[in-house]
Structure 1
Amino acid sequence: MVGDTITTRSLIVDRYVKRDRDYVVNEVTCFGSDGRIVSRSRTHQSFLLDAVSGTVVDKKREKRSDRRFDVNAQEPLEDIQSLSKEVTLEMCQKFSGPAKNYHNDIEAARALGFPDIVVQGMMTLCFLSQMMTERFGAGWYDGGRLSVNLVNVLWQKEQVTCRGQVTALTPEGSRQRAHLQVWCEKPDATKVVVGSASALQE
């Protein structure tokens, strides 16, 4: 809650090579002042094995058929309220700064082979978390789960909309757990994030 002291611990728990990329699995655990675990997350971040010249990812790649990711076509129990954001340079600088890097500086991005600033993936996940908090409140931040893949690049100055559909309800103690498919997409329906989430509700 606001005003609480949080301690974080970061640990590399795995590393592997897949499709010419070196993947690092980082587990971050957040502890409250009383030592209890507040949250735990694992991220898989990839790095090119060999140095490349020229463009690494351009803005046309997401238009290819193999970069289209459709959500399951099923009748949802509920379409939760969506959330839209336009990512500005100021947002990138505040979220991924203060040191200049490809998430907040155009020259740093171009030096690594990107045509524009690459919005840090965790920012998009924060948007998803905001959407889930607005729908489920404490049932999200005191019992929520999220499993997603970052599938296309979100560039600065682009708009993204987070969406979620409740697909099932299962009993959990005295409450229910709502299971959702969630995704973030651009105005042309290009998916940036796809995956699943769940939260507790009465």
Structure 2
Amino acid sequence: MTWRDLTDPRVVADGVDPEAGLKEPVFENLDIPEALGPVTLVVDDHKIKRYAFTQDDHHPWHLHDSPFGGRIAHAGLLSNDLVQLFTTRYAASRTVGLHTEEQLWFDSPAFLGDEVTLSGTYVESYTRRGQDYVVMEAAATGPDGRSVLRHRGVEILRTRPGDVAGRGATGSSGSGRVSGTADPGLPTAVPGTPTVRPGAALPGLEVTITQEQASVFSRTGEYVRNVHSDLDVARAGGLRIPIVQGQQQCGLVTAMLTRFFGTALFGGGWLRVKFVAPVEVFEPLRVGGVVTEVTPAGDGGTTIAAEVWVRRADGRLSTVGWASATVPAA
């Protein structure tokens, strides 16, 4: 049967090392371009419920039924699988990297029971500020050949996370600077109503990622050890406690956007985020956003652009970004 993950952890019972023969994840071992995957996995009930647990996201579209006709995967369900595609070539448990930027295009929903094929490529590598970066482009394709999700990510391939996490400038990009604030004088934006206007806040979320959630998200079920799931590995990386994976924070943002954009997110939504400060497990988080632009679209629809963010309990932004989707006429 097709397994639900990048690797099938059951093989260890037969003495198989899933990471045997894979490359050491260091800059010198990169081949640019380098194919990653393909891997076929199944979006089964366990995978959906497991993701719902890790994100504390029990939206009824994923657990019961959706406007698309049947249960669908969370918008971000396959995003970490795409990020982790490099572990089809490189040893996952010897990776001590740092995800710095993520971009996602949501093309169509993945349905319960879909066998989805993931493939990617390392397309670029460079050195900046003494750190070695690699850029991956990847995609998830449905069983009928349709595009489900596309990804472009930037990662420091090997580093000491405690030395570099959070040293970058907050939110600077070609899309502008994310302020992390909305106009307190405006009502919260609700699509299809006049409340959707620049400056209006998106309905936010409050989430605390526990160690159990971070460990499961970061592949402890596949026996992968990393700075997100293992205390010893985290401390060896200069951290006092494991940190929440950037992609897990990205999933919190997609949960907020699902509730705001609705079905529009799954058929042409876009998200770009930068991870600018570390988040420790057990740290209370506030996920928020603000409408930045409202543009009429064809057939009476509206394209809504927004800034989005994740804020730590101490007030510092840990993730900043930009999102958009075209909402059809009511």
Smaller-chain TM-score bracket: 0.7 to 0.9
Instruction: Work out the percentage of aligned pairs sharing the same amino acid.
Output: 30
1:195 aligns to 2:321 (yes or no): yes
SS at match of 1:6: strand
Q: Which position in structure 2 is the counterpart of 1:140?
A: 265
Amino acid at match of 1:179: A
Q: Which position in structure 1 is the counterpart of 2:11?
A: none
1:106 aligns to 2:231 (yes or no): yes
1:56 aligns to 2:182 (yes or no): no
Cα offset for 1:72? 6.8
Cα offset for 1:111? 1.3
1:127 aligns to 2:255 (yes or no): no
Measure, in 2, the Cα distance between the counterparts of 1:10 and 1:48. Answer: 20
> 1:173/1:5 Cα in 2 relative to 1: closer, same or farther (>3 Å)?
farther
Cα offset for 1:138? 1.0
SS at match of 1:56: helix
> 1:8/1:47 Cα in 2 relative to 1: closer, same or farther (>3 Å)?
closer
More strand by share: 1
Which residues in structure 2 correspond to 1:1-202 (within 5 Å)?
Answer: 1=72, 2-3=111-112, 4-47=114-157, 56=163, 71=179, 75=183, 76-98=198-220, 99-174=224-299, 175-202=301-328
Once structures 1 and 2 are overlaid, which stretch shifts more, 118-127 or 27-36?
27-36
> 1:177/1:10 Cα in 2 relative to 1: closer, same or farther (>3 Å)?
same
Gaps of 5+ in 1: none
Structure (1 or 2) with the larger CA radius of gyration? 2
> 1:101/1:181 Cα in 2 relative to 1: closer, same or farther (>3 Å)?
same
Cα offset for 1:173? 2.5
Cα offset for 1:26? 1.0
**Alpha-carbon displacement from aligned partner over 1:34-67 (angstroms, at most 9, x marks no partner):** 1121111111001457xx7x95258xx77xxx76
Measure, in 1, the Cα distance between the counterparts of 2:303 and 2:143. Answer: 28
More helix by share: 2
Cα offset for 1:33? 1.1
Gaps of 5+ in 2: 1-71, 73-110, 172-177, 184-197
Give the length in aligned residue pairs.
194
Once structures 1 and 2 are overlaid, which stretch shifts more, 96-105 or 150-159?
96-105
Q: Normalising by structure 2, what TM-score?
A: 0.54
Measure, in 2, the Cα distance between the counterparts of 1:26 and 1:87. Answer: 26
Q: Normalising by structure 1, what TM-score?
A: 0.87
RMSD: 2.3
Measure, in 1, the Cα distance between the counterparts of 2:250 and 2:133. Answer: 20
SS at match of 2:123: strand
8 Å Cα contact 1:20/1:48 also seen in 2: no
